[in-house]
Structure 1
């Protein structure tokens, strides 16, 4: 018996002193829709209340030079999920084109690494029964809009859930009783509760404040009558049934902020906050919305132009990350980064295997190890026929293949007010060469439309 007892004692001691392997961290990525660089209090907003996101920034890190993948939703999400910038990606403008089988996504990568995967909101990478549907691209669970056009309404009569059409009878025949964002908030909380033992990857592609201006009355109450409203604006009754675009837009953003706070509170309640990386960003810049933004709210902050354009206002977006105990509270980063960096970052965080794309992991910056951060030399964006490229602080922009190239020094001119192209032709030539080398031709999204040959009579 003594040898047996001796072995058991040694085994017990080994268990006690052996290091316990940490559980893989959970990842939650939250994406707003058409939220501008200046729409959060932590980025200078003075009129709209965003206390929970501002607190998240105070508890984590705020990036001031982060870019979306494109200036509109469909291609921007393609960059995010595939890790390939718009010069290499399959989708380069809003369209019905789905991802194809060879387009490996973040959700597939995380699922392959043993993560439970889920999402809500606007997918826009492939509709039902296509090769780009969420349940084909690695999502164990998904509730939301597949089509970005249907996502213009906050009171749809149906959504898609796990491959099946989910009817919303309360919204049939034009009724407006169930607010889609509220369904997404509840599904997010439910998913986290059910997968609290982890690891999980959750993608909350919220549709606020995109398209239709509509919000439940309990949120509108905070802003009703707070500001003068435009007397007329395009498609008022269709676009903003409540006829108060400024108050409604602010209330929408505050409601979204509240529900993000509920997610963060749940992580604390479940005691998994320290093992959960939470990120927040926007898919592109703001859009003119019936006098509500960005003119009134200064939604693009100091940046030039809006959604659909490759000036800074169309692609530079807020980006906040929180990971208690890992990310230093109140940090700010000037690292230039974009959506293509998310796939390698999530791979390094989780131990997953990523395909080689255009991004670089920003985990060193998140952890405060700036000296270890590999920096990308060149950033490229495309929204046919537009092109833009950034190298260091220099950025060039061309609105069409035959248009003149514009040159800006972002270190001194974040608003892109002074075009230096005429005075610096050598710099323009250098960056133009890089710009053309940074893309592959796309038959679906050519930079220039080919002229049709005239038939001979």
Structure 2
């Protein structure tokens, strides 16, 4: 694993927990800060690393539209995703609860889709819909298979277009997409790089949604699949990067399924594409990745331009962030791009590289241009922040706290006593951030009790384990790992620990 050293001063230059157990949102008093409800657009990139934006140090390609959002709004330098993989990260976002409490704690599949949220769940969409917003989701859902209680139309969304299943969302040229509760077959698409490029089709629907709702309050959730593996971009984007980032020979894909799984998607010797296991990728993955993030940046620019054209940009909140750290599948090469920036770790790690994500928030009418905050926040804070923003009381307890005082520069900002994560793959993992301290426990299912301890103020790259020097901090974090979660029969954690204890 790559180890990086990083100086705090450089971090600041580039970047230009709540009580133990569950608590209800108590910050709706800040709802009086604004009287006019804004439109809200939440853009969620898929597996985009902290270092994959040019304003945060990316040098191999540029992201001018996202950079402009950052320059015109507030940059959150200490923001965390809900998890280190897709579904639980989205569950934390939608429910306002971290992975010790939220309903979906892993990427487990069920009935051809993902494990579903329950009927009647308080979600970000349901709260905003109750507040009078028209709600739409366009992209990857992953919180309930079609027809389940967790399907987007059953969780507060009026409109949905995109990938209901995360498995289907592995394909940029899928055979089908979901339009509300109906399947739309994509003519000419055979699961390879032919026919219609799904992210562009979905983007068209986003722009139509904005146009259709320009005269009302709307919430648009934009969970794009870019730049999740597989690595596919349209040829016009590939051509921008083939000579710039790929002087090396074409990448030779290998698959544990054997060479028979390799096949061309199109008959084009200059732009060959291959299918490798569950993922397909262009033969030049560096160019493909740069092209994909460039396309994502263009999509952000198109959304902003549409808002400007309609005269509603000033009173629209736009958030841009990522669901977890950079991935390693499909030929992706995060080390080449320095995708995790100052951090170490990738997707599926609870090191900073797996969960410390970029976040910018633009709201021209209210949020100070060019501002920055080191307030420690996480996905589960979005629900209470937006509920406070629109003046809607929450009915169920959550783990998040509103950061609206930070946005507005008014009032006292409550702080988390700590943040908590658990991960149900790769032997089981737990992590706690408490102030400057970060504790990580690996191999939980094997009964491991060793906790790694890092001082993030002095060592954001998590290169020096200080557990032996601060045993009292380790004990405190150990207690928080035990008290910050509720056992769930669908996502057993304590049960697996107990079974391993018996075996050993």
Do both proteins adopt the same fold according to a TM-score greater than 0.5, normalized to the shorter chain?
yes
Q: Following TM superposition, by how much is the alpha carbon of 1:242 offset from its aligned partner in structure 2, in angstroms? A: 2.4
2:399 to 347, 358, 365: 358
Q: Which moved more, 1:397-406 or 1:383-392?
A: 397-406
C-alpha contact (below 8 Å) 1:288/1:295 kept by paired residues: no
Partner of 2:143: 125
User: Deviation at 1:305?
Assistant: 0.7
Counting only pairs closer than 5 Å after superposition, residues 330-409 of structure 1 correspond to structure 2 as 330-354=370-394, 355-369=396-410, 372-384=412-424, 385-401=428-444, 402-403=447-448, 404-409=450-455
Equivalence for 2:162: 144
**What residue number does 2:5 align with?**
none
Structure 2 CA distance, aligned partners of 1:170 and 1:121? 20
Match of 2:58 among 32, 45, 61: 45
* Residue 260 of structure 1, CA deviation: 0.6
Are the equivalent residues in 2 in contact too, given 1:281–1:320 (CA < 8 A)? yes
Q: Which residue of 2 aligns with 1:217?
A: 235
Q: CA deviation at 1:22?
A: 5.3
1:171 and 2:189 equivalent? Answer: yes
Partner residue, 1:418: 464
Structure 2: which 5+ runs fail to align? 1-33, 110-114, 256-261, 263-273
Per the alignment, in what secondary structure is the counterpart of residue 314 of structure 2?
Answer: helix
Structure 2 match to 1:271: 311
Contact 1:347 1:353 survives alignment (8 Å): yes
User: Residue 437 of structure 1 aligns with which residue?
Assistant: 483
Paired residues of 1:381 and 1:388 also in contact (CA < 8 A): yes
d(CA) in 1 for partners of 2:192 and 2:227? 21
Cα offsets for 1:331-366 (capped at 9, x unmatched) = 111111000000001101112222331011111111
1:103 is displaced (CA, Å) by 2.1
Q: Is the 8 A contact 1:400 1:447 kept in 2?
A: no
TM-fit CA distance, 1:175: 6.3
How far did residue 400 of structure 1 move? 2.3
How far is the alpha carbon of 1:322 from its aligned partner? 0.4
1:1-54, Cα deviation, whole Å (9 max, x unpaired)? xxxxxxxxxxxxxxxxxxxx9542110000000000110011111112101000
The answer for unaligned runs of 5 or more in structure 1 is 1-20
- Measured after TM superposition, the shift of residue 453 of structure 1 is 13
Once the 2 structures are TM-superposed, how far is the Cα of residue 452 of structure 1 from its aligned partner? 9.6
Return the alpha-carbon distance in structure 1 between the equivalents of residues 499 and 351 of structure 2: 28
Query: Partners in 2 of 1:289 and 1:245 — Cα distance?
Result: 11
CA RMSD of aligned residues (A): 1.8
C-alpha spacing 1:339/1:453, structure 2 compared with 1 (3 Å): closer
| Partner in structure 2 of residue 232 of structure 1 | 252
Evaluate the alpha carbon distance shift between residue 241 and residue 408 of structure 1 in structure 2; reply closer, same or farther with a 3 A threshold.
closer
Once residues 127 and 330 of structure 2 are traced to their aligned partners in structure 1, the CA distance between those partners, rounded to angstroms, is 40
CA distance in 2 between partners of 1:176 and 1:422 (Å): 56
Confirm or deny: 8 A CA contact 2:45 2:226 kept in the other structure. yes
Aligned residues: 433
CA distance in structure 1 between the partners assigned to 2:455 and 2:214 by the alignment: 46
- Classify 1:173/1:153 alpha carbon distance in 2 versus 1 (closer, same or farther; 3 Å): closer
- Looking at structure 2, the residues matched to 324 and 128 of structure 1 have their Cα atoms a distance apart, in angstroms, of 37
Whole-Å Cα distance in 2 between the matches of residues 256 and 333 of structure 1? 25
2:207 is the alignment partner of 1:189: yes
Equivalence for 1:6 = none
Residue in structure 2 matched with residue 71 of structure 1 by the alignment: 84
- SS of the equivalent of 2:297 reads helix
Q: 2:351 aligns with which of 300, 307, 311?
A: 311
Distance in 2 of aligned mates of 1:190 and 1:184? 10
Aligned to 2:366, what secondary structure does the other structure show? coil
Using the size of structure 1 for normalisation, the TM-score is: 0.91
